[in-house]
């Protein structure tokens, strides 16, 4: 009987009538692509991915009556995973920008964010303008990477993980790191001798990335986000991971 069902499923999949297991998503599972190197949004606690995005995604999945499955990958693979259907959504502190909008849809933004500059204590860099001609570390494929390209005469060093850029700064291999504000606060709090430049480098919005051809999921996710916002649940999740100054 099992075998018969499997054969039928293969046939149904081949006809394109049902979401197929091999594509990651089934009717009951909501697959989230992320890059779990990004506290407080997504990071490992033991072997579990936790953080604001992980909890928000779990709450969205619950609203949708689905079960969340998290796939950890390189940040610059997330959009492709969503486009190919390997994942249903990208939730990775991902900034909405024009280029990405050509490839995926974005949900309603769920957080205001910023790129900030981390420097060593005593650095001469005091504002974003002082980055001219400097060696700057970023995480590959992030908005920090993209916008650092606008700085005159700067050398950009790209790392797979944001924390690797911070380590390079600690070792004086680079002059500054451009990275998202909340992860920057976490990295600075965990390492002596680092400070964040007061003036932000950019201001941006985080949203959930969804395949262009999945308008239905976009609508459902936006409805779920609106509910979580209205009930205060979203704020509760944020407050759990970010303590107000």
- If the CB atoms of residues 107 and 139 are measured against ligand ARG, the closer one turns out to be 139
- If the CB atoms of residues 95 and 214 are measured against ligand ARG, the closer one turns out to be 95
Residues 168, 152: Cα–Cα separation, whole Å:
21
Please give the angle made by the CA atoms of 194, 199 and 200, to the nearest 5 degrees: 90
Residues 102, 226: Cα–Cα separation, whole Å:
24
Smallest gap from Cβ 50 to ligand ARG, in A, equals: 13
Whole-Å CA distances, 148 to 22, 23, 57, 130, 201: 38, 35, 30, 12, 9
Smallest gap from Cβ 28 to ligand ARG, in A, equals: 25
- If the CB atoms of residues 133 and 149 are measured against ligand ARG, the closer one turns out to be 149
Residues 172, 194: Cα–Cα separation, whole Å:
12
Smallest gap from Cβ 137 to ligand ARG, in A, equals: 13
Residues 150, 194: Cα–Cα separation, whole Å:
24
Smallest gap from Cβ 178 to ligand ARG, in A, equals: 10
- If the CB atoms of residues 25 and 139 are measured against ligand ARG, the closer one turns out to be 139
Q: Where on the chain is the footprint of ligand ARG (CB under 6 A)?
A: 34-35, 37-38, 42, 75, 92-95, 139, 142-143, 180
Surface-to-core class of residue 191, CB atoms within 10 Å of its CB (0-12 exposed, 13-18 middle, 19+ buried)? middle
- If the CB atoms of residues 97 and 123 are measured against ligand ARG, the closer one turns out to be 97
Cis peptide before 67 (omega within 30 of 0): no
Smallest gap from Cβ 102 to ligand ARG, in A, equals: 15
């Amino acid at each position: 009987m099992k075998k018969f069902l499997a054969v039928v499923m293969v046939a149904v999949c081949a006809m394109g009538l049902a979401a197929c297991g091999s594509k990651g998503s089934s009717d009951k599972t909501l697959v989230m692509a992320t890059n779990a190197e990004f506290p407080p949004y997504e990071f490992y606690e033991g072997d579990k991915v936790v953080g604001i995005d992980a909890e928000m995604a779990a709450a969205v999945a619950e609203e949708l009556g689905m079960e969340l499955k998290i796939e950890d990958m390189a940040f610059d693979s997330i959009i492709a995973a969503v486009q190919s259907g390997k994942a249903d959504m990208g939730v990775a502190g991902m900034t909405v920008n024009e280029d990405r909008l050509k490839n995926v849809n974005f949900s309603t933004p769920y957080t205001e964010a910023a790129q900030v500059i981390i420097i060593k204590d005593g650095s001469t860099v005091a504002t974003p303008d002082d980055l001219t001609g400097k060696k700057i570390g970023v995480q590959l494929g992030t908005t920090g990477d993209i916008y650092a390209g606008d700085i005159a005469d700067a050398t950009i060093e790209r790392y797979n993980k944001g924390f690797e850029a911070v380590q390079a700064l600690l070792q004086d291999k680079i002059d500054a790191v451009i990275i998202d504000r909340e992860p920057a606060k976490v990295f600075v709090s965990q390492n002596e001798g680092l400070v964040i430049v007061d003036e932000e480098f950019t201001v941006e919005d985080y949203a959930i990335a969804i395949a262009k051809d999945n308008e239905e999921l976009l609508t459902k996710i936006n409805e779920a986000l609106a509910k979580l916002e209205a009930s205060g649940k979203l704020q509760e999740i944020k407050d759990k991971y970010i303590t107000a100054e």
